[in-house]
Amino acid sequence: GDSVTQKQGQVTLSEDDFLFINCTYSTTTYPTLFWYVQYPGQGPQLLLKVTTANNKGISRGFEATYDKGTTSFHLQKASVQESDSAVYFCALVPGGNYKPTFGKGTSLVVHP
């Protein structure tokens, strides 16, 4: 079946540091890949979407890319702010069905 692996459980940075979070995936389909962000006390919300056609998405200073060769997708930001502190989930939606699979999440803590 489809799977997503998100190994970084917690990342601690200082403001203006570079952020990089990585997920690997496995599927037999042509998937759509997503990054969601969850702020305390809220449900997850969409941050970025990357299709295997366009390879890249950009939003709010975050950039998501995908590498078909290594079946991995990444989230990065050049300069994080304290307000970026949140939990970040990667997710895969297989082509042909709509049963999303989520990674375990990365808790980002940014110190001022």
Partner 1 sequence: EAAVTQSPRNKVAVTGGKVTLSCNQTNNHNNMYWYRQDTGHGLRLIHYSYGAGSTEKGDIPDGYKASRPSQENFSLILELATPSQTSVYFCASGDAGRGANTGQLYFGEGSKLTVL
Chain contacts with partner 1 (rule: CB under 8 A): 6, 9, 32, 34, 36, 41-46, 49, 89, 91, 93, 98-105
The 10 Å CB-count burial string (b at 16+, else e) for 1-20 is ebebebebeebebeeeeebe
Least Å distance between CB 31 and partner 1?
Answer: 9
- Helix or strand (DSSP H, E) at 26: strand 19-26
Q: Which is nearer to partner 1, 98 or 112 (CB)?
A: 98
Contact 110, 88 (CB under 8 A): no
Q: Which is nearer to partner 1, 17 or 52 (CB)?
A: 52
Least Å distance between CB 41 and partner 1?
Answer: 8
Q: Which is nearer to partner 1, 43 or 69 (CB)?
A: 43
Least Å distance between CB 81 and partner 1?
Answer: 23
First to last CA, the chain: 42
Q: Which is nearer to partner 1, 71 or 100 (CB)?
A: 100
